Amino acid sequence: MALTVVSQIFPREMIPAVLPLIEDKLQHSKEIIRRKAVQALYKFYLIAPNQVQHIHDKFRKALCDRDAGVMAASLHIYLQMIKENSSGYKDLTGSFVTILKQVVGGKLSADFNYHSVPAPWLQIQLLRILGLLGKDDPRTSELMYDVLDESLRRAEINHNITYAILFECVQTIYTIYPKSELLEKAAKCIGKFVLSPKINLKYLGLKALTYVIQQDPNLALQHQMTIIECLDHSDPIIKRETLELLYRITNGQNVIVIVQKMLDYLKESKEEYAIINLVGKIAELAEKYAPSNEWFIQTMNAVFSVGGDVVHSDIPNNFLRLLAEGFDDGEEDQLRMYAVQSYLTLLEEEDKLYPQKFLQVMSWVLGEYFSLVTDVDPEVILTKLHSLLKKTFVTSETKAWIMAAVTKIASHTSCSKTVDELIQEFSSSLDTCLRQYAFELKHLCEDKALMKSLLPFDASCTDLVVDASLSFLDGFVAEGLGHGAAPYKPHHQRQEEKLSQEKALNFEPYGLSFASSVSSSGVTGRQSPTGLSFGSDTSGNSAEMGHKETNTLKLEGVRKLWGKEGYLPKKENKTGKGNEPQTVPCGSLLAGQVGEPPALQPDQGASLSEEDKEKQQLASTLFIGLGSSAGVSLMGKADTATQKFRRKSKINETQQLSEEASGLQNSAASDFGPLLDTVPINVEDSEGSMHTGLRKTSPSSDIVEDNLAFETPQSLRKSMLDDRLSPNRLSQSSLFAGSNIEIFQPSPSAQCESASETPLVPSLPEQLEELPHSEVVGLCQSDALALHLCKAWTDDSLLLIVFVSNKTTSALCAVNLVFEETEHFQILESATSQFPVIEAQSVEHCQKGMRMNKVCTQAILSGSVSYQSETETRLEFSVTLSLMDFIRPMEMTTEDFGKLWLSLSNDVKQNIKMSSCQNSLSAALDTLQQKLKLHRVDIIGNEGILACQLLPSVPCLLHCRTHSGMLALWFRSPCAALPDGLLYQCQKVMEES
């Protein structure tokens, strides 16, 4: 009961207090206690992944537990961890396959059966895990083929639970590396689902067809008439899933018909979720495959009209950005002119109620591009906007957009009676925002030269230089401080001062309280862990100011979580559903010509009814472009077709501002990504050794050495998987030791030997040899070209040196290397490198400086290389980068440490058990300093302080304290995610040492 309660109600802050107790329960003699302990750890992993990462070995013991219930409970944890990092658990593939074989063969107790089906939920969990492990990995997938075939054969279609198992089997077969025999059997299962008269099975068939359409587009052609019938199905869920399927097969030839079907469904649907989901898809298809400017504007008008104000804000923002930035073919003026004409036509209908977001789009476009329409007097446009301001259904926010548009138009007109009336009318408005706009417009109209300079034509994309430090206010601030004004205090400090005056419950473990270590210093309020006192006269920076000395209770070690109004952390804002205005009928907004369908044979046409002929004609327009010879463009896959509206590249402008903006972007890093525990990969080839060790002592030391695992293609990954899939890692026979369960071992024929030759490894240039760097490691290769990579660590960035080797006896032309954009990393230079010609048997290289934008323990950077030989060839690759690649020591004095500590608001605390070899604080700090490359600032008694920074300049401070064989860690940083990431690395280092 206690374990159940702990897993359900304990918050993140209380996990460290009970985690050691729950770990001990994993060794309990009773199966139910061990199972409940595993379930509690799974809940903790979902709440705070970094706090349970250091006990992965115990998760593996739970997977090998003699009780099948404990083993089944551990699958939940592994499924979550494998979703986040599948490469770290490929060595367990053989174990999962063995478990699934035993489950399918009925080796478990009959207590696990459901309607005579052996452990169906356990089968579903294992199938999902195998699908994640086998994705794009032929060696790992080969271990699964037999058990997947057996699962398909035994899951007879006679009960709902077997349908679920079949569905998971189909998904797994199409996810892993393909095998033709299994694909044929999976396609037959999908056909049975789709053709079933039962609605639930038909839904499963459409769901599976939507999932596999990216791998096998021809499968949709086999069931095209069934899909057409599903468009008119009475069940809205079936219709919605059918539209999702059509969205996946959209291309430039069928986009008009599919978008029209989606709009027809939107007119009938009243579900807010369906509206939000579909309008986003329509907007995406319209931008990517628009056949003409007119059709694109009409479609977006329909999206804004039908979607109403529930449309996600990204859709109108992206639409306006597309109009402002333009696109590669240089026809943006035609698109803008048609948009202005379209909106003027819509505003002529006085009695129509348009959604607020649509009105805002109209106002912005009319204000920016009204001058493109030469046959319309600007006074006419001002009159229409003025009439909108008088409408009662127009909100205050929309009126602000309209006033901005009026101001822009007025800047390019000599005089306007409408503007004068508008100023006079709204100068006395009760709406303060409108009144302010009216006064601004009045003063700007008095100085036309100033007005034109402030509001130039089509200047919405002009880069503005912003003084983020507000240095122009320094004189004003100094004058205020000289007259006795209080210095500015950041929001977090004001909040802490407010909370320090209220009573609060302490949910921190007793071992983490730091009050006793500084109680003798006489400092009250917020404390520096070094025991330094800072009075109110130390600096004008309020972040360094303490409170006046009082005799109140010292609560500096307590995190304030409860107040007079209850639990203090921020609650999610719930947005209410606003009133939906009457939408504009949009049946006439779309118009387009659809190609004629293929002619029917005479005998076939005579035997078909009119309804069947209409369905076949619709099928020919919907599924045009699908086939083995046609170039299919599937959503979610790499599309080689030319996009209709491709935004102009702004690489050069970005390069000029990247140096100035990089510091701000890194300091404002957002939420912390998933914390993953990776298994180090040591690659030893039969022809020689190719390992990922470090040549020099790098800034990442052993942590980088562990995490330097590259996502390699088939040829380079085979030799890695030989070792990682060996039974030495985890004995399969130990999974159910002591039970009567038969153990299945993989047949020798299922193992394929590595036959790829190790390519010639390039060497670093002389100017880079002096830098700490990793070994040169292969990324991908073909018969003509090989790609290698090396990491080098500089003081201000991580350098990725990529070597491109021409293996042929002839030159390679037009070699392009491209890194994909990712939210986690920032490429300091251009993401593309071009090599016009690479001579025969030669090596070229390029280097890219990297920084981390979004903090995560590790993430994958993907890319591709293409080259021109007889035909154009494209290879894909990926590189795993860790947090420690971007951490550098930060040197400072004890006094500077104390000042900086007071200014940081994001902190994380954790107790770590010290090993026997770390019997002193100095030994523990030496371990952290050497392995993580932190700067040791000072040691004061049983406390120590260290400092580091995330490139380029995001600090993170660490305070350590020993007590009762435990090491209490306290991190502080301006970035909320950075302390969590470094805490995980500290736990890993201390555990390994």
Alpha helices in 760-893 (DSSP H): 766-769
Helix H or strand E segment including 93: helix 93-104
According to the model, what pLDDT value does residue 765 have? 81
**Residue 762 DSSP code:** P
Residue 800 in 3-state DSSP?
strand
Closest among 149, 153, 130 to 141, alpha carbons compared: 130
C-alpha dist (Å) from residue 644 to 220, 281, 284, 623: 26, 16, 11, 20
CA dist 455 and 408 (Å) reads 6
Residue 365 near residue 340 (C-beta atoms within 8 A): yes
Token digits of residue 797: 């960035």
DSSP 552-617: SPP-TT----EETTEE-SPPPPPPP-PPPPPPPP-TTT-----PPPPPPPHHHHHHS-HHHHHHHH
| Amino acid type, 665 | Q
Token digits of residue 857: 């323990």
CA dist 661 and 651 (Å) reads 14
Q: What is the 3-state secondary structure (H, E, C) of 890-955?
A: CCCCHHHHHHHHHHCCEEEEEEEECCCCCCCHHHHHHHHHHHHCCEEEEEECCEEEEEEEECCCEE
**pTM of the predicted structure, to 2 decimals:** 0.53
Residue 526 near residue 546 (C-beta atoms within 8 A): yes
According to the model, what pLDDT value does residue 871 have? 74
According to the model, what pLDDT value does residue 567 have? 55
CB half-sphere exposure, 222, CA atoms < 13 A: 15
CA–chain centroid gap for 677, Å, is 19
Token digits of residue 757: 């030759």
Residue 850 near residue 828 (C-beta atoms within 8 A): yes
CA–chain centroid gap for 462, Å, is 29
CA dist 205 and 197 (Å) reads 11
Segments of the chain scoring below 50 in pLDDT: 511-552, 570-606, 628-641, 649-759
According to the model, what pLDDT value does residue 723 have? 42
* pLDDT tens track for 614-648: 666 666 666 665 654 443 333 333 444 455 565 55
CA 630, 636, 640, 644 torsion-angle sign = positive
Helix H or strand E segment including 845: strand 843-852
According to the model, what pLDDT value does residue 761 have? 61
CA dist 119 and 164 (Å) reads 12
According to the model, what pLDDT value does residue 131 have? 92
According to the model, what pLDDT value does residue 269 have? 83
According to the model, what pLDDT value does residue 675 have? 30
Helix H or strand E segment including 323: helix 314-325
Token digits of residue 364: 């912005």
According to the model, what pLDDT value does residue 705 have? 37
Residue 263 near residue 586 (C-beta atoms within 8 A): yes
CA dist 46 and 44 (Å) reads 5
Q: How many CB atoms lie within 10 A of CB 443?
A: 11
Q: How many CB atoms lie within 10 A of CB 672?
A: 21
C-alpha dist (Å) from residue 655 to 6, 104, 828: 51, 57, 7
**φ, ψ dihedrals at 129, nearest 5°:** -65, -45
What are the DSSP E strand ranges found in 229-298? none
**φ, ψ dihedrals at 704, nearest 5°:** -65, -35
CA dist 59 and 229 (Å) reads 49
Residue 690 near residue 56 (C-beta atoms within 8 A): no
Residue 460 near residue 466 (C-beta atoms within 8 A): no
CA dist 665 and 977 (Å) reads 14
Closest among 686, 683, 681, 808 to 755, alpha carbons compared: 686
| Amino acid type, 709 | A
Task: Calculate ∠ Cα 592-598-601, nearest 5°.
Answer: 145
| Amino acid type, 3 | L
Task: Calculate ∠ Cα 311-394-462, nearest 5°.
Answer: 65
* pLDDT tens track for 271-296: 888 888 889 999 999 988 888 889 99
According to the model, what pLDDT value does residue 298 have? 92
The crossing angle, in degrees rounded to 10, of helices 120-134 and 145-154 is 150
Closest among 990, 993, 956 to 976, alpha carbons compared: 956
Residue 957 near residue 945 (C-beta atoms within 8 A): yes
According to the model, what pLDDT value does residue 461 have? 64
**Residue 458 DSSP code:** T
The crossing angle, in degrees rounded to 10, of helices 2-9 and 31-47 is 10
Q: What totals of helices (H) and strands (E) does the chain contain, helices first? A: 38, 19
| Residue 863, C-beta contacts closer than 8 angstroms, at least 6 positions apart | 817, 818, 819, 820, 876, 877, 878, 879
Residue 846 near residue 802 (C-beta atoms within 8 A): yes
According to the model, what pLDDT value does residue 505 have? 58
Residue with tokens 């489950």: 103
CA–chain centroid gap for 24, Å, is 35
CA dist 622 and 614 (Å) reads 12
According to the model, what pLDDT value does residue 455 have? 81
Residue 568 near residue 562 (C-beta atoms within 8 A): yes
**φ, ψ dihedrals at 868, nearest 5°:** -110, 115
Residue 684 in 3-state DSSP?
strand
According to the model, what pLDDT value does residue 196 have? 84
Residue 123 in 3-state DSSP?
helix
DSSP 801-835: EEEEEE-SSS-EEEEEEEEPP-SSEEESS-SEEEE
Alpha helices in 105-253 (DSSP H): 120-134, 138-142, 145-154, 160-175, 180-195, 199-212, 218-222, 224-231, 236-248
According to the model, what pLDDT value does residue 330 have? 61
Token digits of residue 500: 């320090």
Token digits of residue 63: 């997977």
**φ, ψ dihedrals at 776, nearest 5°:** -75, 125
Residue 521 in 3-state DSSP?
helix
Residue 284 near residue 319 (C-beta atoms within 8 A): no
How many residues in the chain? 993
| Residue 150, C-beta contacts closer than 8 angstroms, at least 6 positions apart | 101, 104, 105
CA dist 478 and 469 (Å) reads 15
